[in-house]
Amino acid sequence: MKKYQLLFLLLFPIMAFSQDFSEKRIADKVAEIEKQVIEWRHHFHQFPELSNREINTSKKIEELLKGMGLEVKRGMAKTGVVAVLDSGKPGPTIGLRADIDGLPVKERAPLSYASKEKGIYIGEEVPVMHACGHDTHIAMLLGAAKILTGIKKELTGKIVFVFQPAEEGAPPGEEGGARLMIKEGLFDEYGIDVFFGQHIDSGLDVGTTTYKVGGSLAAADKFEIFVDGKQTHGSRPWGGVDPIVISAQIIMGLQTIISRQTELTKEAAVITVGKIESGVRNNIIPESAYMVGTIRTLDTDMQDLIHEKIKKTAELIAEAGGAKARVIITKGVPVTHNDIALTRKMIPSLYNGAGEENVRVVAARTGAEDFSFYAQVVPSLFWFTGGKALDDDTPYPHHTPDFQIDDSGLKTGVKTMLHLTLDYMSSPQTKMD
């Protein structure tokens, strides 16, 4: 007997169902709807919408869910969609989540269903693309919902399908995403006991699944630095204080926080300046400069220390050059934490979804996910599903114009979601501490 089969028997000694929820039965059901899941994915890929603007996306999701006979609510967190499958029998309430927003990226991939959509971002018209795979998340969750509604009589408890907007972040000045879903009563209204979520990975082979126990993805915070110098003629830099030169020194100083002042053997950390603005023309040294960036941490103590050092580094470098620097740090998404007991309990389900040989434990990533907010409320598990074609030696990363996902990877995501749901539902210990 394989070790994971023995572990499964130890973890799930009593099955609540007399029905057959074997790997073969689930695989057969996924095979029956795979074509439809891919068609759904192509539709959502072709017609992406930006965060908090997913109006047509949510309408389509609502239409499909109602067609499955589910109770549906649209409009939570502006454009979110929540559907409930109630078996009518006692049992746990399991949350399954997919994010639904696209990004302001112009698609270059040569696909018949490539996006030509545009949207408004910070007052400007921009191209829109599902450059992070959220279209696949929608399709996979719809596929799981269709199969689960088809076997409703065999289930216990409830399943809450959460199609969440604005995972990439709400527009400036707006609330959105998982935090707003919670604020508007997701847990109060639906009583979710446990949450499962997944993310497609363009760099991971199709058919492969990865996970990590504990801290899995980084906290993501935003920093802004305002540098005030003294304007002067470009030919006489000694007549003023150059905020551009000082900003360059600050940027390099920020990197030494990571390379020389952070204990990287403990956890990874990243400081990235993503945007800098200053000046109006070639022969004027401007009065001020502005930069904005992201901080990624996997440890709360390191997070606090890095925040402190960013402020001190910027302020002291500016002072040394005769300028002033003001730093604003805004906490964003917390660390995505996979509940230790839940994750260990569900390892056999991950094996069943992809095959034990295709499941790997990986190190934490410095990417971030607002699924982390759900994990702060109830025990949760977040994993990655492979979307890279097996013959693709140079996959394009997420958030880029050439990003692509191989459709053949979707079935693994659907299967894994089903195994996690059914196995947890059938476990005699459905409440996690």
Q: What is the predicted pLDDT for the residue at 429?
A: 53
Residue 8 has pLDDT above 50, yes or no: no
Q: What is the predicted pLDDT for the residue at 7?
A: 47
What pLDDT digit, counting tens, does each position of 351-371 carry?
999 999 999 999 999 999 999
Separation CA 3–CA 26 (nearest Å): 21
Q: What is the predicted pLDDT for the residue at 16?
A: 37
Q: Which of 190, 182, 176, 162 is nearest to 97 (CA)?
A: 162
* 3-state secondary structure at position 399: coil
Q: What element of type H or E holds 269?
A: strand 269-278
The beta-strand segments (E) located in 185-310 are 194-205, 209-211, 214-217, 219-228, 232-233, 269-278, 284-285, 288-297
Q: Which of 49, 26, 46 is nearest to 115 (CA)?
A: 46
Separation CA 22–CA 32 (nearest Å): 16
What is the mean predicted confidence (pLDDT) over 173-194? 97
Partnered with residue 291 across adjacent β-strands are 225, 276
Partnered with residue 297 across adjacent β-strands are 219, 269
Q: Which domains does the chain have, with CATH numbers?
A: 3-218+335-426 (3.40.630.10), 219-333 (3.30.70.360)
The reply to whether the predicted model has a pTM over 0.75 is: yes
What pLDDT digit, counting tens, does each position of 195-222 carry?
999 999 999 999 999 999 999 999 999 9
- Show the tokens assigned to 289: 């400069």
DSSP state of 350: H
Separation CA 418–CA 396 (nearest Å): 29
Separation CA 91–CA 146 (nearest Å): 20
Residue 111: Cβ within 10 Å count? 12
- Show the tokens assigned to 191: 């009583």
Strands 380-388, 93-99: pairing kind: unpaired
What is the mean predicted confidence (pLDDT) over 415-432? 84
Q: How confident is the model at residue 427 (pLDDT cuts 50, 70, 90)?
A: confident
Residue 101 has pLDDT above 90, yes or no: yes
What pLDDT digit, counting tens, does each position of 224-279 carry?
999 999 999 999 999 999 999 999 999 999 999 999 999 999 999 999 999 999 99
Q: What is the predicted pLDDT for the residue at 248?
A: 98
The contacts of residue 65 (CB under 8 Å, 6+ apart) are 72, 81, 83, 142, 145, 161
